[in-house]
Amino acid sequence: MTPSVAPASEPVPAPRSLWSDLISLTKPRIISLLLVTTIAPMFVAGRPSLATVLWVALGGYLMAGGANAVNMYLDQDIDDVMARTKLRPIPSGRMEARAVIAFGVGIATAATWLLATFVNILTAALALGGFYFYVFIYTRWLKRSSPQNIVIGGAAGAFPPLVGWAAVTGSLDLTALFLFLIVFYWTPPHFWALALNKQRDYGNARVPMAPLVWGERETIAQMWWYTVLLVGLTVIPVAFGALGLVYLVSALLLGGLLLHGVWRVKTASDYVKPAWWVYGYSLLYLALLFVAMVIDHAV
């Protein structure tokens, strides 16, 4: 098939193979952070075998990738009007919507079987719970109906620590709950930092993101308080002995830098650059925080 010629003022996207499109459906850059928050708790919970880690990593990737593909199927109409998503496989015309939903459901089903067979039933159930929460609670319901979409729906991204913990212990406890809450409270300031700078996209798609509904100042104020709560939550596991001094120092340093970044957004006359900084740093923050847990447990 001969590709259509784009106007001279627009960049022509490079041709992509079916394989690269299938990979892009899973959103590998996002999943890389999810895998950190899945695997790190395994080493905090105990001493997992290499085989267990590999099965959890594979199952976790397939489950999250399946959820992301189904998300693209459900959001194909709004992806088509948003600048940052209109080159995805469905709106660009490179893949049929039916193929995308089949791929997403297929790899999520494979992930459920792999985790249940080679790890344990609780791990598979928690991973599947995260899938359903992301697809039905966030994407299908909250995303288009409430500015609380990323707050409540963000719980889907907090399932990975529970999955990793259950893979090693076969159960959940207070430490696992706090790991869940850390990711839960991290999500709003992280995502709203992006939403502040992508308001036109969300407005075109009629997605009621917080800055469009509450206004920029209120959204930034909420970012600040969520970050304060987040930093407080990160040190509580030290209080009941789940983590130690190495982690405490790391959590305070990393959290202090995040608080400083959000404060800059809050006090700047132009929040654009500080918000982009918070968005980028918050990704690194969460990854380093969970790595610090592993290092603390090891020493």
Give 299's pLDDT tier (boundaries 50, 70, 90): confident
Mean pLDDT computed over 183-208: 94
Contact 189, 230 (CB under 8 A): yes
Instruction: List all residues 6 or more positions away from 115 whose beta carbon is below 8 Å from its beta carbon.
Output: 55, 56, 59, 63, 123, 124, 127, 163, 167
Extract long-range pairs of 266-275: CB within 8 Å, 24+ residues apart.
Answer: 266/220, 266/221, 266/223, 266/224, 271/196, 271/216, 271/220, 272/196, 272/197, 275/193, 275/194, 275/196, 275/197
What's the pLDDT score for residue 85? Answer: 86
* Total residue count of the chain as it appears in this document: 299
For residue 73, is pLDDT > 50? yes
Q: What is the mean pLDDT of residues 155-181?
A: 96
Quick check: 163 pLDDT over 90? yes
Higher pLDDT, 201 or 57: 57
| pLDDT reported for residue 240 | 93
pLDDT at 80: 87
Any idea which of 88-92, 112-116, 176-180, 271-275 has the lowest mean pLDDT? 88-92
Does the pLDDT of residue 2 top 60, yes or no? no
pLDDT tens sequence across 238-247: 999 999 999 9
131-153: pLDDT as tens digits: 999 999 999 999 999 999 999 98
Q: Is 96 exposed, middle or buried (0-12, 13-18, 19+ CB in 10 A)?
A: exposed
For 15-27, the pLDDT digits (tens) are 568 899 999 999 9
Is pLDDT at 8 greater than 70 in this prediction? no
Confidence of residue 86 (pLDDT cuts 50, 70, 90): confident
Q: What is the mean pLDDT of the chain?
A: 92
For the segment 227-244, the average pLDDT, to the nearest whole number, is 96
Domains detected in the chain:
17-171 (1.10.357.140), 173-299 (1.20.120)
The pLDDT value recorded for residue 84 is: 82
Band the pLDDT of 4: cuts 50, 70, 90. Answer: very low
Mean pLDDT in residue range 54-80: 95
Give me the pLDDT at residue 17, please. Answer: 86
Alpha carbon 11 to chain centroid, angstroms: 29
